[in-house]
Amino acid sequence: MSAKPPIPRDEIRALTEARLTFGPRGRSVATPEALAFALDHARARAAVAAELDLPALIAALDRLGMAHRTVTSAAGDRATFIRRPDLGRRLPDSAAEGLTDIGPCDVALVLGDGLSATAVALNGVAFLSALADRLTEMGLSLSPVILARQARVALGDGIARAMGARTVVMALGERPGLSAADSLGAYITHLPRPDTQDSARNCISNIRAAGLPVDDAADQAARLIAAMRATGQSGVTLSRAMAAGSLT
């Protein structure tokens, strides 16, 4: 029985963005691979350090007719945000007071920088616009888009509580790897509290052109929100119920 011919390397590389090494290994990395690594590393560092381009985001939201507000976490600036993740999760009292005139609403829509403002610039407005269309068709009331600077995931909880929202969608840039500095994540939490655990959130990850398309991500998010409203649950408990087929 003859052995199967090996799969061409180009076909293998087309299946993944992971770094692959073929052939013999020497003492040093080949120059093209070393340069590619350096470029991807620089892109990842730039994504983490980048600030939200507020004028561009505001202009995009205005073109779509989507109302918006801007808040900044207790981290205040990028250097503090990177050193103090805990401050990026906290909404200052003054910022919370500035949102109390909005609610109550069914769903709070938050767009934060997270660890990649690059991802937000490329995918953030498109995702929230597509999701807003679906939620409006479901008859749900929505907050203005809250543009959140120096934001970690849990910042959305304080924003939602300030507006009296039952569910919050926090879309923000994911931690960039060495192959994807433009990946947006959407974290959805039902009935957020000051002590909400990450296990109570549902996450849709890798929203980008080379990953999960915006429309598919919006469809998934809308289904999750509908299930949350039907069950009063989110996070691991909801995921288990959906996997078991107990939700229709």
Half-sphere exposure of 239 (CA within 13 A, CB side): 11
Rg (CA), the chain: 20
As a whole number of angstroms, the distance between CA 131 and CA 17 comes to 28
The total of other beta-carbon atoms located within 10 Å of residue 88's CB is 27
Give Cα 113 distance to the centre of its chain. Answer: 9
Nearest to 70 by CA among 54, 88, 59: 54
153 annotated ligand binder: yes
Q: Which helix (H) or strand (E) holds 110?
A: strand 105-114
105 annotated ligand binder: no
174 annotated ligand binder: yes
Burial (Cβ within 10 Å: 0-12, 13-18, ≥19) of residue 195 = exposed
Nearest to 111 by CA among 144, 63, 75, 64: 144
Longest CA–CA span in the chain (Å) reads: 75
Q: What is the DSSP letter of 50?
A: P
The binding site for adenosylcob(III)alamin consists of: 153, 174, 203
The binding site consists of: 153, 174, 203
